[in-house]
Structure 1
Amino acid sequence: MPRSGGVKQLTPTKNISSLLDNLLKGYDHKLRPSFGGEPTTVEIDIEVRSMSRISEMDMTYSMDCYFRQSWVDERLAFSDLEEAFTLSVSVLEKLWKPDTFIYNGKQSYVHLITTPNKFIRLYQNGRILYSSRLTINANCPMNLRDFPMDTQHCPLKLGSFSYTTRDVVYRWNKDRQVVIAPDLMLSQFDLIAAPSGDENTTRRAGEFSTLLASFYLQRHMGNFLIQVYGPCMLLVVLSWVSFWLNREATSDRISLGITTVLTMTFLGLEARTDLPKVSYITALDLFVWISYGFIFATIIEFAFVHVFTKVGSGEVYLSHSSSEADSEEDPDEELDPEVRIRESWL
């Protein structure tokens, strides 16, 4: 007895294939929708899956996200089917799509394992949803004056590379603009906000529609408390031990002072290893220099104590007096024996 299920499964496939053939017949992917009329509105939404490689040295950040673009192309509207359907990535080359690029991007790419991570969904009214998984590396100008108690603002600016506002206008999706994955975790920062907005950017070719997203990153303090702040405070307290040492213990005080100064110098240099050579003082630099000042003050204090100890005990005065006394001794001791004999006869 023949199975009728196979025929039912083939019918929708044949319908969709014939529908696509009819839609793409005479379709020119080089022209945008409503060419010569109203500008095409492209709606954008981003779902951030992870963020990494936030570098103060290069002032860049990287994020893995789902990048979705949606627009209406009346040439692809249909009424034969009631539901939207997903198209193969190969069909993308036959359709018009916006030339979206990232203004402050450095090196971004689409994931290709195991196949290109992107898809197209076509709706009945001609709306196209184009989704892809991207890794975006972008510039993030950082102000490190409050480092490491700082909050950084990393922008993301995107728009069309060639279409001005007369042809393409970008808008954030009304239902979702920038969505942060609930399981997103960063090792050194907390992502506390991700506001979004839009603006027009003027370039030589005209005015371009652009979208803006900002990622506010608050730095964790735990690592710096353990590696910098804690050791610096302990070194300052350790330098105060010299106050309880005997003022005559010169070698002990000098050894302790030199050890704390060298260790503080090493901590100060190590704290700036991962920072760019900025021209201003950071909060961490200020703390290290204040700690260094306390340690240096203990060495200056020991120098005063040492000098006044010598003077107070009369050691300086006695050495000076003894040298004068030696010079004022009986001059006969310095005379030649023969001269002394002559003077005795006279």
Structure 2
Amino acid sequence: MFLLNVTSNYQVPNLSIFTLIWGIAEAISLSKRIDNTNFDIYSDSNNESINNIWNEHCDYVSLDVLSQTILDEIFTSDYNKNTVPMKKEVNQVTIEFVIQSIAQVSEITSSFTVDVLFSQIFYDPRLRYDHMTECLQNLTLGYKMIDKLWLPNVCFVNSIKTEIHNSPTPNIFLLLYPNGTIWINYRLQIQGPCAMDLSLFPFDSQNCELIIESYAYNSGKVSLNWRSWSPVFSIGKSKLADYSLHTIQWNKHSFEYAAGSWDQLSVTLTFCRSYGFYILQMYLPTYASVMISFINFWIDIKGLPARISLGVSSLMALTFQYGNISKSLPKVGYVKSIDIYMVVTTGFIFMSMIEIGVVCFVDKKIGNKRKQIENEKKKKRLEFFKNSNNIGRRKKGAVIKSLEKNDSIVFSGNYDDKENSFVITNSENNVETKLENDIKRNSISKHYDNEYSSMDPFHALAAFSMTYESQDNDVDQFYWTGEKIDDICR
């Protein structure tokens, strides 16, 4: 009675107890049948029995158990990772190159650093498991399984450094298809070379090339090929602080070694330099320095210290600016475009300094020449005054003895405010006659008024014209002057 009451109170909705017990028993029986079966992947009878068992019960069998069973059967057979999969045919390897990000492009080391997703796809018939089951479309394996597989030994032969990312474990993706096709993907950081050509710096573009090759197998064993659709592309940012990725090119060619011919796949990345930094930090400041140095042409010639200071400051600023740019560039043996630009701008400032020296030299020469001319004019005026005074004395009745041929006149005294005495000496008779000149002469003033008053009007007018010759005549006789040179430079 008690049993009947319990049975009537406990009910499982929509599921009979008999069906549940039968399902558990069937699963246990199937598991024992699989564990007790010895699989031989090269036996058609066993393969047929495996397919019948697994295909019939795909919904019930654990896929993890099935995957492990397949792997155990593959690698416990006669699989040898040291031999090529197909000995009578060339093993085809398909390559995919995906740019994840570009870290840097360095002119100093002539290299670039890039993160890529590098894929190798090849066929190994020894890894087929499509004859075992149809329950698995593919097998995703861990990175440790790489050590158990044959690999085509594909590498970047011209790379400076290549590393597999470890975050936190090696970033390796391994996929095995039922027909024996293997897809291996690596996340790599590659530092490759760049053939830097800085002839057009900073308006240059650089080509960086990576060469992919099977290091261990020549083209008779392993053939490398690009994937037929978009084998190389970028999924990350392609613009750096000083460069931008312009184009990506890929190609295939062969290279002859002593051991034979090897297939090579090349990837060429073209980077264009962003020159905005150099316009702001180089070109505009140098333009300003040159323009400031040209202000010298508007400064007066007498302001020599100001002109020299302005030119020297402009030259020092230009040199300092070029030094900052040169620090980020390698030492090359050819001329860059920025070198030509700097030579030209430095030449402008240097020529402005030369112009200052030329102007000062010409101005000094003209000044000396003017002094020399002025001294000669003073001498002529003194001689003219002397002759004019003698004529005036004769007209006023001064007694002068007629001199014979051998007589000589000796003037004692100077042209000053004191009275002058003249001694007339006869060389034959040694007779001296002294004439006391009571005529007083005033000192030569700036305007020569007193001298003109002692002369007759005709001689006074002649002396005045000689004294006050136009100063412009002195300037006109010099073709090159400092002012004229400055005008030409302006």
TM bucket, shorter chain: 0.7 to 0.9
Contact map agreement 1:111 1:134 (CA 8 A) in 2 = yes
Question: Equivalent residue for 1:31?
Answer: 83
Moved more, 17-26 or 245-254: 17-26
Q: How does 1:193-204 map to 2 (within 5 A)?
A: 193-204=247-258
Whether the aligned pair in 1 keeps the contact of 2:152 and 2:216 (CA below 8 Å) is: no
**Residue 232 of structure 1 pairs with residue 286 of structure 2:** yes
**Structure with greater Cα Rg:** 2
CA distance in structure 1 between the partners assigned to 2:339 and 2:145 by the alignment: 57
Whole-angstrom CA distance in 2 between matches of 1:127 and 1:160: 18
C-alpha distance in structure 2 between counterparts of 1:281 and 1:183, whole Å = 33
Q: Percent same amino acid at aligned positions?
A: 27
Quick one: distance in 2 between partners of 1:65 and 1:149?
Answer: 28
1:191 corresponds, among 239, 245, 270, to 245
Amino acid at match of 2:241: S
1:7-86 matches, cutoff 5 A: 11-24=62-75, 25-35=77-87, 37-79=88-130, 80-81=133-134, 82-86=136-140
Query: Shift of the alpha carbon at 1:308?
Result: 2.0
**1:290 partnered with 2:341:** no
Decide whether the 8 Å contact of 1:99 with 1:162 is kept in 2: yes
TM-score, structure 1 as length reference? 0.88
SS at match of 2:328: coil
Q: Secondary structure at the match of 2:306?
A: helix
Matches of 2:223 and 2:119 in 1, distance apart?
15
1:135 is aligned, of 181, 189, 192, to 189
Please give the per-residue CA displacement for 1:260-313, whole angstroms capped at 9, x wherever unaligned.
11111122222211111111111111111111011111111112222222233x
- Give the distance between the partners of 1:156 and 1:147, measured in 2 at CA: 23
The answer to which of 250-259 and 265-274 deviates more is: 265-274
Q: How many Å separate the matches in 2 of 1:9 and 1:96?
A: 33
CA distance in 1, matches of 2:234, 2:80: 37
In the alignment, the residues of structure 2 paired with residue 254 and residue 151 of structure 1 have an alpha-carbon distance, to the nearest angstrom, of 41
1:218-297 to 2 correspondence within 5 Å? 218-297=272-351
The equivalent of 1:332 in structure 2 is: none
Task: Give 1:319 deviation, angstroms.
Answer: 7.4
Deviation (angstroms), 1:181: 1.4
Q: Give yes or no for contact 2:101–2:236 (8 Å, CA) kept in 1.
A: no
Paired residue for 1:159?
213
Match for residue 154 of structure 2? 100
Output one character per residue of 1:150-200: Cα deviation in whole Å (capped at 9) or x when no partner: 111110101011211111110011122111115333111111111101111
Label 1:46 to 1:272 Cα distance change in 2 as closer, same or farther (>3 A).
same
CA change 1:301–1:126 in 2 (3 A) is same
The alpha-carbon deviation at position 206 of structure 1 amounts to 1.2
The structure in which a higher percent of residues are strand is 1
Pairwise CA distance, 1:124: 1.7
State the Cα distance separating 1:52 from its structure 2 match.
2.1
| Alignment gaps of 5+ in structure 1 | 326-346
Q: Distance in 2 between matches of 1:177 and 1:294?
A: 53
SS at match of 1:13: helix
Structure 2: where are the runs of 5+ without partners?
Answer: 1-11, 13-19, 28-58, 379-490
CA distance in 1, matches of 2:82, 2:372: 101
Q: Aligned pair in 2 of structure 1 residues 310, 133: CA closer, same or farther (>3 Å)?
A: same
Does 1:209 find its partner at 2:260? no
Partner Cα separation in structure 2 for residue 90 and residue 268 of structure 1: 54
User: CA RMSD of the aligned region, Å?
Assistant: 2.7
- 1:60-90 CA-to-partner distances (Å, cap 9, x unmatched) read 1110111111101111112113512211111
Deviates more, 1:22-31 or 1:244-253: 22-31
Which amino acid counterpart does residue 280 of structure 2 have in structure 1? I
Query: In structure 1, the residue corresponding to 2:334 is in which secondary structure?
Result: coil
Residue identity opposite 1:159 in structure 2: E
Distance 1:316 1:271 in 2: 49
Q: Is the 8 A contact 1:49 1:184 kept in 2?
A: no
Q: Which residue of 1 aligns with 2:384?
A: none
Conserved 8 A contact 2:248-2:269: yes
- Indicate if the aligned counterparts of 1:50 and 1:185 stay in contact, CA closer than 8 A: no
Secondary structure of 1:134's aligned partner: strand
The number of aligned residues is: 326
**What is the TM-score of this pair, normalised by structure 2?**
0.63
Once structures 1 and 2 are overlaid, which stretch shifts more, 75-84 or 186-195?
75-84
C-alpha spacing 1:318/1:93, structure 2 compared with 1 (3 Å): same
Partner SS, residue 195 of structure 1: strand
Q: CA deviation at 1:315?
A: 3.7
CA contact (8 A) 1:268 1:285 kept: no
Any runs of at least 4 consecutive aligned residues in structure 1 with deviations exceeding 3 A, and if so which? 1-5, 7-10, 319-322
